[in-house]
């Protein structure tokens, strides 16, 4: 409904009114969100610490805090994808550690592969790895990607991502939480050093 009204208003030429109202609410209106400390407690510190450390390691590895990630779905249940999406929201905000998702493997430094690689997507996983410029770190996200999970041995899947492309990091969990993912990336990068 709200969207619909906005559409009508902009068509009617009231976009400046709309902008004025929006900015008024944004800058002068009451705060509707709680400060992070009230509901996070010390849980946040852990994440923060892992993130800071990750940033430092990325800096060592690439000479700076920039790591571009391409996510590849190898036939997952999409549980992992939801967690990966959560990495970008205001709570986890992966960007502040210098990590970002990109639109093509050509731009990527790191691949996140999810799901037990199904036979249909085996080629996709392989070509995405080949298409990315090397050095490229491959992270298997979730139980399916690490071991094949409950689908292991099925005729429809190839199994763990390892069976298709070299894997540098495994992050278990079904699905792993965003904090797990950040920690897993950090751990693996450290070990690689």
Partner 1 sequence: MNPFILTAIQAVTVLALAPFATGLVRWCKARLQGRKGASPLLPYVSYATLLKKEMVISPVASWVFHVAPFVVLASSVFATLALPLVASDGAFAGLGNFILIASTLSLGSVFLVLGGLDPGSAFGGMGSSRELTLAALVEPSVIAVFAAFSVVSGGSTVSQMLAAAGMGVLAHPGLFLTLIGFVFVLLAENARYPVDNPATHLELTMVHEAMVLEYSGPYLAMLEYASSLKLTLFSLLLANFVLPAPLASTGAGPAMALAAVLGAVAKVGVAAALLALLESSMAKMRFYRMQEYMTIAFLAAFGGLVLVLV
Partner 2 sequence: MPFMLSGITISLIGVLVAGALPLVWRNLAGHRAAQAVLAIAAACGAFASIAFLAAGTGPSTVFAPASIPALRFEINGLSAVFLAIVNAVACLCAIFAFRYVEKYRQVYDMPSLDLGVALFIFGMQAVLLSTSVISFMLFWEMMSLSSFVLVMADRQAASRKAALLYFGMAQFGAAAILAGFFLISGGKPLADFAAIAGMAAALPPAKITLAFILFFLGFGSKAGLVPLHIWLPEAHPQAPSHVSALMSSAMLKIAVYGFLLATTSLLPPLASGFGLSVVIVGLVTAVFGIVHASVEHDIKRAIAWHSIENLGLIFAMLGISMFAARNGMPLLSEIGLAAALFHAINHAIFKSGLFLSTGVIMSQIHTRDIEEMGGMAKRMPYFTAAICALTLSGAALPPFGTFYDEWLFVQGLVGHLAGSGPIVLAVLLSTLAVVAFCGGLAVFAMTKLFALPCLGQPRSEEAAHMKEPPASMNGPILFFAAAGLLAGVFSARILRTIGFADLIHADTFLSVATPKGSVAPMAAFALMAAVILGLVAARRVLGQRRIRTYHTWDCGQPITPRMEYTATAFSAPIRFFFRSIVGIRKTVVVTQTGSGPLLVKREMTLTGRSFWLSRVYEPLALAMHKLGDNARRIQSGSIQLYLLFILIALGATLLIAV
DSSP H/E element including 105: none
Is 109 strand, coil or helix? coil
Residue 50 or 146 having the CB closest to partner 1: 50
| End-to-end CA, the chain | 54
Cβ-based nearer residue to partner 1, 22 or 156: 22
Residue 38 contacts by C-beta under 8 Å, 6 or more apart in sequence?
Answer: none
93 binds, among partner 2, partner 1, none (CB under 5 to 8 A by kind): partner 1
CA 15, distance to chain mean position in Å, is 35
Between 90 and 103, whose beta carbon lies closer to partner 2? Answer: 103
Residues that bind partner 1 (CB under 8 A): 15, 19, 22-23, 26, 33, 62-66, 68, 89-90, 93, 95-96, 98, 100-104, 106-107, 109, 131-135
Cα radius of gyration (the chain): 20
Least distance to partner 2 from the beta carbon of 133, Å? 7
Nearest approach in angstroms of CB 99 to partner 1 is 8
Nearer to partner 2, 19 or 156 (CB): 156
Q: What letter does residue 66 receive in the DSSP assignment?
A: -
If the CB atoms of residues 54 and 164 are measured against partner 2, the closer one turns out to be 164
Any long-range contacts for 55-64 (C-beta under 8 Å, 24+ apart)? 55/97, 55/98, 57/186, 57/189, 57/190, 57/193, 58/97, 58/98, 58/99, 58/189, 59/98, 60/193, 61/189, 61/192, 61/193, 62/109, 64/98
Q: Name which of partner 1, partner 2, none residue 154 binds, using a CB cut-off of 5 to 8 Å depending on partner kind.
A: none
What does 95 bind: partner 2, partner 1, none (CB cut-off 5 to 8 Å by kind)? partner 1
Count of residues that bind partner 2 according to CB under 8 A: 13
Q: Which of residues 103-162 bind partner 2 (CB under 8 A)?
A: 104-106, 121, 123-125, 127-128, 130-131, 133-134
């Amino acid at each position: 409904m709200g969207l619909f009204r906005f559409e009508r208003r902009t068509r009617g030429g009231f976009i400046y009114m709309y902008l004025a109202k929006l900015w008024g609410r944004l800058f002068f209106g009451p705060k509707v969100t709680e400060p992070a400390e009230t509901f996070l407690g010390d849980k946040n510190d852990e994440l923060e610490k892992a993130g800071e450390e990750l940033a430092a390691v990325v800096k060592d590895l690439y000479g700076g805090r920039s790591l571009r990630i391409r996510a590849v779905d190898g036939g997952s249940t999409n549980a992992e994808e939801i967690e990966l999406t959560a990495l970008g929201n205001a709570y986890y905000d992966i960007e502040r550690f210098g990590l970002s998702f990109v639109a093509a493997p050509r731009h990527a430094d790191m691949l996140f592969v999810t799901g037990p690689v199904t036979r249909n997507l085996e080629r996709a996983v392989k070509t995405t790895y080949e298409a990315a410029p090397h050095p490229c770190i491959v992270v298997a996200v979730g139980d399916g990607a690490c071991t094949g999970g409950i689908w292991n041995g099925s005729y429809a899947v190839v199994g763990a991502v390892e069976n298709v492309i070299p894997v540098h990091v495994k992050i278990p969990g079904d699905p792993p939480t965003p904090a797990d993912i950040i920690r897993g990336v950090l751990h693996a990068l450290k070990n690689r050093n």
